[in-house]
């Protein structure tokens, strides 16, 4: 079945550091890919998405590019802030099935001032 | 304001005592679903509903029931809770054709002793 694998956390960085959170997937067909963010005590919010190969999703300084050849969707940000501290989930949805999102295990990110 | 609400937000109960977690959305969405979030496992889908009176199992349906008598509500029922159902639960909704615009509730933290 479809699956998503994220880099192990937790990840701790200093403010203004460069961030990469790796995400790879296994899927039949051509899924859409997502990054969700969960701030402490809150539900998940969609951060960015990409629906086809080579698409780049971006939002709030975060970017991720849909790489079909490497089945990856790595999340990057050039200069992180303390307010970026959260749990980040990579996810996919199969446009054929389209009944659910398949999530990675989540990566907890802590940014120190 | 478009939102998904869940109640209660926190619940501690004992094994075998039936409980219901409510979920309501004000966006007239056709599709609703329940997920549970466990450390190291990400979010896994429990049940989903494509519309009123249409429900189906997700990946981890054992020990849960749902109903969809009205479009806005999608309660999650635990007939006889057990400690392995201790988890963080999220309800989500989207318009039927808007796979990329899924809204999540704030979560319900359930502890079964």
B61-85, pLDDT tens digit by residue?
999 999 999 999 999 999 999 999 9
**A47–chain B Cβ distance below 8 A for any pair:** no
User: Do residues B74 and B34 touch, judged by C-beta distance below 8 A?
Assistant: yes
Q: What is the pLDDT at residue A91?
A: 94
Q: Mark the ranges of chain B whose per-residue pLDDT is less than 50.
A: none
Chain A CB within 8 Å of residue B107 CB:
yes
Q: pLDDT for A39-95, tens place per residue?
A: 988 888 999 999 999 999 999 999 999 999 999 999 999 999 999 999 999 999 876
Q: Check residue B76 and report its DSSP letter.
A: E
Write out chain A residues lying below 8 Å of B48, CB-based. Answer: 99-100
Q: State residue A99's pLDDT score.
A: 67
CB A87 within 8 A of CB A104: no
d(Cα B110, Cα B7) in Å, to the nearest integer? Answer: 11
- Phi then psi for residue A82, to 5 deg, are -55, -35
Instruction: In whole angstroms, give the CA distance from residue B90 to residue B104.
Output: 7
| Minimal CA separation from A73 to chain B, in Å | 16
Give the residue among A6, A19, A1, A2 at the shortest CA–CA distance from A111.
Answer: A19
DSSP class per residue in chain A: --EEEE--S-EEEETT--EEE-EEEE-SS--EEEEEEE-TTS-EEEEEEE-STT-EEEETTEEEE-BTTTTB--EEESS--GGG-EEEEEEEE-TTT-S-EEE---EEEEEE-
Type and span of the H or E element at B99: none
Q: Tell me if chain B has a CB within 8 Å of the CB of A82.
A: no
Q: How confident is the model at residue A38 (pLDDT cuts 50, 70, 90)?
A: very high
Q: How far is A35 from chain B (nearest CA, A)?
A: 11
Question: Are residues A100 and B45 in contact, defined by beta-carbon separation less than 8 angstroms?
Answer: yes
pLDDT for res A97:
59
Question: Chain A: nearest CA to B101, how far in angstroms?
Answer: 8
Per-residue model confidence (pLDDT) at position B47: 95
Nearest CA in chain A to B91: A43
């Amino acid at each position: 079945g479809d699956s998503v694998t994220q880099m192990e956390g937790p990840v701790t960085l200093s403010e203004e550091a460069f961030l990469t959170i790796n995400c790879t997937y296994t899927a039949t067909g051509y899924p859409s890919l997502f990054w969700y963010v969960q701030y402490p005590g809150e539900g998940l919010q969609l951060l960015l998405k990409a629906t086809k190969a080579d698409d780049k999703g971006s939002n709030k300084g975060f970017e991720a590019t849909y790489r079909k050849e490497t089945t990856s969707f790595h999340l990057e940000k050039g200069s992180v802030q303390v307010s970026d501290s959260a749990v980040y989930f990579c996810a996919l949805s199969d446009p054929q099935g389209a009944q659910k999102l398949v999530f990675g295990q989540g990566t907890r990110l802590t940014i120190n001032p | 304001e478009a939102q998904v609400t869940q109640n209660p937000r926190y619940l501690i109960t004992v094994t075998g005592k039936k409980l219901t977690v409510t979920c309501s959305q004000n966006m007239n969405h056709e599709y609703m679903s329940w997920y549970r979030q466990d450390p190291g496992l990400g979010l896994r889908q429990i049940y989903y509903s494509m519309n009123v009176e249409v429900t189906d199992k997700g990946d981890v349906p054992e020990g849960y029931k749902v109903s969809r008598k009205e479009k806005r509500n999608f309660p999650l029922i635990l007939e006889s809770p057990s400690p392995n159902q201790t988890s963080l639960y999220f309800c989500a909704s989207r318009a039927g054709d808007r796979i990329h615009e899924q809204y999540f509730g704030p979560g319900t933290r359930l502890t079964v002793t």
